[in-house]
Amino acid sequence: MPTVWDIETALYDWAPRELAESWDNVGLLVGSGNREARRALVALDVTEWVVDEALDCGADLIVAHHPVMNCRWHEVQRIVDGDTQGRILTKLLKCDIAAVCMHTNLDAAEGGVNDLLARLLGVERAEPFNEEKIGRVGTLKCEKSLEQFLQDVVQSLGCRGLRYRDAGKPVRRVAVGGGACAEFIPQVLALGCDTFVTSDVKYHDFLDANGLNLIDAGHFETENPVCEAVRAYLAERFPQLELVRSTSHAESVIQYYMK
């Protein structure tokens, strides 16, 4: 049986630690590295439901994309069960479930979040569009109308809705940035892209994105495809390890209400 450390090391072989942003927190974040792992649950986030699911299915560890704790989001100064993060950490520790998180290193890695997103959207010859290698830019095989492209995005990522700005041009040269990448809009424009697919786009980002078909396809939807890739990668590396895809976190918590 592999140990939790073996699993962490294997994931770093794919998505090296050095690729993570300096502010990020990746790798084995909770639990014992030397414990043997028979079963691992793969999810995008370590939510309370995901921890319960890990308990129910007898998982020894959770492999997630978003760090279970990251000081950029929440300063972790105490672990008490009066707040969500404290409850998650307490339960993981009590139940001896480890958490291994591969975040911006997996965004940047070959075959990681952004490569998968580009592939799913039919973006060919996808190259990183900046030094951090967070996003990708490439071209569609054939030019498409924005309408057609929006339909394809919904279909390939399973989105229940999209927010977008129509620049009045067809889609050919496309940038993608899984998760919140609106800060790269100026770079994407400078690269001559007509279309950018990302998420968590603010009103003012839409206003400033002159000349760009800007599509907010959802944070969960643009990143979740990596979970299946993580599952398949670990299944190949560790045939004895039982891998379970999360069903409690199989869709975004965000709902759309249409009048």
Give the footprint of Zn ion on this chain (CB under 5 A): 179, 223
Q: How far apart are the first and last CA of the chain?
A: 53
Closest by alpha carbon to 29, among 60, 64, 56?
64
Taking the least distance from each CB to Zn ion, the nearer of 144 and 246 is: 246
* Residues 174, 161 contacting (CB under 8 angstroms): no
Write down the least CB distance from residue 86 to Zn ion, Å: 22
Taking the least distance from each CB to Zn ion, the nearer of 147 and 228 is: 228
Taking the least distance from each CB to Zn ion, the nearer of 122 and 179 is: 179
The secondary structure of the chain in percent helix, strand, coil, rounded to multiples of 5, reads 35, 25, 40
Position with the least CB separation from Zn ion: 179
* Residues 188, 210 contacting (CB under 8 angstroms): no
- At residue 222, the 3 state secondary structure works out as helix
Taking the least distance from each CB to Zn ion, the nearer of 31 and 178 is: 178
Contacts of 126 (CB under 8 A, 6+ apart): 114, 115, 118, 119, 136, 137, 138, 176
Taking the least distance from each CB to Zn ion, the nearer of 37 and 62 is: 62
Write down the least CB distance from residue 179 to Zn ion, Å: 3
Taking the least distance from each CB to Zn ion, the nearer of 4 and 106 is: 106
Distances (CA, A) of 227 to 42, 67, 118, 191, 246: 6, 14, 15, 29, 9
Write down the least CB distance from residue 223 to Zn ion, Å: 5
Write down the least CB distance from residue 103 to Zn ion, Å: 7
* Residues 3, 35 contacting (CB under 8 angstroms): yes
Task: State how far the Cα of 201 lies from the Cα of 226, in Å rounded to an integer.
Answer: 21
Write down the least CB distance from residue 219 to Zn ion, Å: 6
Taking the least distance from each CB to Zn ion, the nearer of 21 and 152 is: 21
| Strands ordered across the beta sheet of 242-245 | 27-30, 98-101, 61-64, 39-43, 242-245
Write down the least CB distance from residue 65 to Zn ion, Å: 6
Write down the least CB distance from residue 166 to Zn ion, Å: 26
